[in-house]
A and B are shown apart, each in its own frame.
Chain A
């Protein structure tokens, strides 16, 4: 199969993405000084998820490629989440 189309992203977009990632990293570090007790892990995970979302969409081109890839990513993520949930559900009920 040959490439019928290719997408060229403006460098400025990448610049913004970099900036966003740096800011989010700063937030991650900053919140570790605040004591959130049980929520600590949750907050860290949420920030990390936002970062991976941005990376997936721009650096990994999900925004510009066929919808099929988005479907794949969502499917894989749901399986992953279900597996984790089932494992922890054993721990919580033990």
Chain B
């Protein structure tokens, strides 16, 4: 093996060249990059669809296209962003790229299964997208596929639902792979409590992927069965119960938001200590709060159903449970802030994005509490307030954490640096644009602007137009950021550009094929700066 080690993973050493070498690779780092490229394409398509909606909403009444087209656009926008961007998200990209190196392994436990997961991901995405072009037109149910409408509409729901089903399997297999990897392949001496916190968060995430995803899988198949075979699961006219659909859907989809956010929190927990050059405060509390979030997160799903006609008791019980899950999330925020206290902070782009994450995640989280509280939610459910809340969490949280992770590990991935000034500028546009885009949605939501509506009353015009300006700034920010990272080669990156203390900074940039010449022996904790 001693020879192969000298080659970086970006050079082709196998029997194939060019793109084929990538499509047949089992190297976790290459697979991570392949996820990233695919997701970036999906993300850009999703963003453009979002801008199309903003354009239509610029003024009340119909501007450019009709209501049914709008229904189709918000549905596919949601499907793309949720199922193909943020659910695989940071775990598939940075979990694959960094986690095996951070725990001192040559690769994941099942490298071929890992590649297979990527193919399932592409296949599922292709099936979901085919819904736009085949059958009776694009689905118009929203990404939530609520029954009984989803079992009755004539649009092409089956393709979208089946695509989501296949994507789910990709997610399950990645989760399985990571659980086994973290149990079996840690470097000698690396006990669970000497493991860095990003792998910890992936471990908690992986359990959710394995345990929750099958439920949505079977639920989506039930929708197809009801459409094709007229089996009455959800449609009351067939003897079914529509609320059963909502239970089953959210039993998965609430834990799914933790599939998205836990790895994001994990990345932030890596970045803060590195740029504050301080030991992370409350290591164990952060590690265990990931598990606590994963566990409690299973039992709060019905806070999406306060207005659906559940029993009164179920409503307040779920409201109570929802407040519990805020505790471990808050623990993390306090620990990040305390880690920075008295640190020697250097404000580089990854750190800026991490700060942006904390700010936006807190707005998203606190507004989540007002939604979790039964009495307030009755008023703002299904309004633009909800749209603002989940964009703050998903885009402000997961999205900004993704950008932070990208700027953090970019030098390791490509062995190159990028232009800091332009990265900071991109951050400025993204941060200002984001808040301009989504903050007004809180306001008009409280004023009564319903969600998933193509038209609105004149009093919402100002809010919608501020949002449109924000959307434009955000788009500019995304373009600057991507151009800065991917348009030309930067200077050569050192092995450890940020002074990080975890294992990925001890290997060359870009890392060699099997990561380590010799697996290191771990003798202490991961973050020792003092």
Contacts and interface: CB of A to CB of B under 8 A. Distances in A.
A82 B311 contact: no
A68 B251 CA distance: 26
Contact of A87 (B184, B247, B309): B247
Interface string A55-90: 000000000000010000000100110110011011
Interface string B83-101: 0000000000000000000
Contacts of A76: 211
A25 to B, nearest CB: 24
B521 interface: no
Interface residues on B, range: 10 to 19
B225 interface: no
B165 interface: no
Interface string B381-394: 00000000000000
A1 B299 contact: no
A21 to B, nearest CB: 24
Majority secondary structure, B binding face: helix
B211 A90 contact: no
A83 B310 contact: no
Given A1-B184, A79-B211, A90 B251 contact: no
A93 interface: yes
A3 to B, nearest CB: 11
B313 A93 contact: yes
B311 A94 contact: yes
Interface in B296-312: 298-299, 302, 309-312
A68 to B, nearest CB: 8
A83 B248 CA distance: 10
Nearest to A68: B183
Contact of A83 (B185, B298, B312): B298
Contact of B311 (A80, A83, A90): A90
B219 to A, nearest CB: 12
A94 B313 CA distance: 8
Nearest to A80: B211
B314 A89 contact: yes
B251 A83 contact: yes
Nearest to B185: A1
Interface string B234-275: 000000000100010001000000000000000000000000
B395 to A, nearest CB: 29
Contact of B298 (A79, A92, A93, A94): A79
A89 to B, nearest CB: 7
B222 to A, nearest CB: 15
Interface residues on A, range: 10 to 19
Given A1-B184, A76-B211, A83-B251, A90 B298 contact: no
Contacts of B317: 86, 89
Contact of B310 (A1, A79, A90): A90
Contacts of B313: 89-90, 93
B299 A83 contact: yes
Contacts of B314: 86, 89-90, 93-94
Contacts of A80: 211
B211 A94 contact: no
Interface string B202-225: 000000000100000000000000
Contacts of A1: 184-185
Given A76-B211, A79-B211, A82-B299, A94 B310 contact: yes
A6 B266 CA distance: 37
A94 B241 CA distance: 13
A77 to B, nearest CB: 11
Contacts of B298: 79, 82-83
A52 B98 CA distance: 38
A73 to B, nearest CB: 12
A68 B184 CA distance: 12
A92 B184 CA distance: 44
Interface string B363-394: 00000000000000000000000000000000
Nearest to A87: B247
Contacts of B183: 68
A86 B317 CA distance: 10
Contacts of A89: 313-314, 317
Given A79-B298, A82-B298, A83-B298, A90 B247 contact: yes
Contacts of B310: 90, 94
Which 8 residue pairs across A and B have the least CB separation, nearest first? A90-B314, A93-B311, A94-B311, A93-B313, A1-B184, A87-B247, A90-B310, A90-B311
Given A90-B311, A92-B311, A94-B314, 19 more contacts: A1-B185, A68-B183, A76-B211, A79-B295, A79-B298, A80-B211, A83-B298, A83-B299, A86-B317, A90-B247, A90-B302, A90-B310, A90-B313, A90-B314, A91-B311, A93-B311, A93-B312, A94-B310, A94-B311
10 contacts: A1-B184, A79-B211, A79-B298, A80-B211, A86-B299, A86-B314, A93-B311, A93-B312, A93-B313, A94-B311
